[in-house]
Structure 1
Amino acid sequence: MPRDRSGPALAESRRPRPTARPARRRRRGPVALLVVLALVAGAAWFAVSAVKGSQQPVCTIRAAGMTETFDPEQTANAALISAIALKRDLPARAATIALTTAYQESKIRNIRFGDRDSLGLFQQRPSQGWGTAEQILDPVYATNKFYDELVKFKGYETADITKIAQRVQRSAYPEAYRDHEGQGRVLASTLSGWSPAGLTCRLDPATSHAPARDVAAALQQQAGVRASGSGTSLTVTAQGGRRAWAVAQWAVANAEGYGINRVSVGDRTWNRADGDRWSAGTATTTVRISLS
């Protein structure tokens, strides 16, 4: 093969020259812009997430100089426990004892697990005769069983909560109930109607709602209260102002689960869109519940 006599210099001249530096700098411009845009978008996403995280649905109870917060699940369960006490014509003290117990045992959640075979709101045990697992996991059944046992003890209305809760529950940690008596008192005072307008819930906008007949059936089952109406509106005429507030605050406590949009006691109104307060006005014995 003939030798290439062009030499190294000519051979170098035939090779493609590398792109000039200025061209590379120009190409980095769009890339740098995309990186900046990605960082801005990421920062915006984190900012939105932080805002959403700080606005989780929450219910606030204010009574007797105390303020406590609960999530909607806890609040609805607490309202059920208090409502059943009212239905059975038990004093608010009974609700305080039951709510204190439920807070200690399950944080007022209907849980499907616990120590050994303990289940439900009160961590009742099938092996101790509280009922079947299926029964205990029914909050209405479990609450009634708790009250069935409570009323057997004469003087429970004035007894020390820790002692009476222990007699009912037969807990391995009897002194633990005392730690949550404050939460029990605040919940019972508000949900029994003794602290009007004491409960508010800040919730996301409702995307659906339960049929009015389902809300009416729950009120009847839990509180023994009859509600009239159809479509998206229910009306309850309560026997006295305290009962009216008990019904109204039951409705606020259950707003998340049933898609309730507005609750009124006379002219005083809790509105889902402005859930941190009750409006000013005159309260009566008429409660109106509006679904979204």
Structure 2
Amino acid sequence: MTAGGGVVAAGRRRARRAVALTVVTSTLALFCCAGGAGAFLLTTLGGDSEPTDLTLAAGQCGQGEPVAATGEMPRLDNFGPSQLRNAAVIINIGRQMKVPPRGWVVAIATAIQESRLSNLPYLGARNDHDSLGLFQQRPSQGWGTPAQVRDPAYASRKFYERLLRVDGWQQLPLTDAAQRVQRSAFPDAYAKHEPVATRIVNLLANGAALAAGDAVDPRCAEAGEIAASGWTVPVRAVVGSGFRTASRPGHNGVDLIIGKEKDIHATAAGRVLVSRCDPDHRGALSCDVDGHPGKGGCGWFVDIQHAGGVITRYCHMVRAPFVRAGDTVRAGQVIGKVGSSGNSSGPHLHFEVHLGGLRSSAGAVNPVPFMRERGAPLEGNG
């Protein structure tokens, strides 16, 4: 069968291999002790090096381990040792309180926005009223005494206590969850820090941002289940035709082979850019019928913009999507149903990832490693 402009269906073995986490670059060494005790070694990253992401073998997801908040610390994206020690405190308090790793990402992103992970004193006229510490918490608003809110452990605990009282916080976009706690004058400011907060958690907690559920029972995110990074798989399916293969160099995504009418999930929180019928090669709008190879077009499709200029695309839906341009969606939200409209000869989801805010082919990257590095691997989830 061919689909998505000619998918070659491929069966995949689903056996899970017990292989260790590997690291993308040699600048970071990370070793886990046998027995799950959780010791690790971090080598120093020089200068303003790009943060290192962890990659996973098929079927493996990150597992949080105890974080050392003392001793030598790495440098990451202009975050110095004292800032990363504060991040380690935030993570450790979250672990003690049994907050899922998603909460660690939310907390660190919030602290980056509020203080750049620095324990700020009273800043005089530059200060927002009496805001202090990592989270710019205000003693006058009931957060604690000035000395308490400048204690990183106390401030982290108070943040988590309020976060856990937010209904459905794990499914909310990060910026919404943070705003329910902080009540900031700039409620949209937190989202841009989600990618680097995810990398900090991965770096300091042994890839914990790649896990769904909690750090006690880490697992890869299934469709509709959100990894701590804020990402999930769009469908549980077998990966068919790949990204820009030798036979299909213009194939800017991957085809996920699955039957009609299956739910398609937004892979992360974001805003819908496009939701419409894509014209075929003759310019006709004929998405309410099954397509065929050579017809052209994406059929019914949706583009969603996420934090960090990432755009995801979902093609060949069976009917009009459930969302409209301008809608805000949550990670895991059902946005449509699998079909075979457009340039397709069989039911499947054609899925693309674009970087830099570019919807064109110039921004397209291979979705398989991209999703794996966010704890929501496409391979092995069918």
**TM-score category of the 2 structures, normalised to the smaller one:** 0.3 to 0.5
TM-score (norm 1): 0.45
TM-score (norm 2): 0.35
Rg (Cα) greater in structure: 1
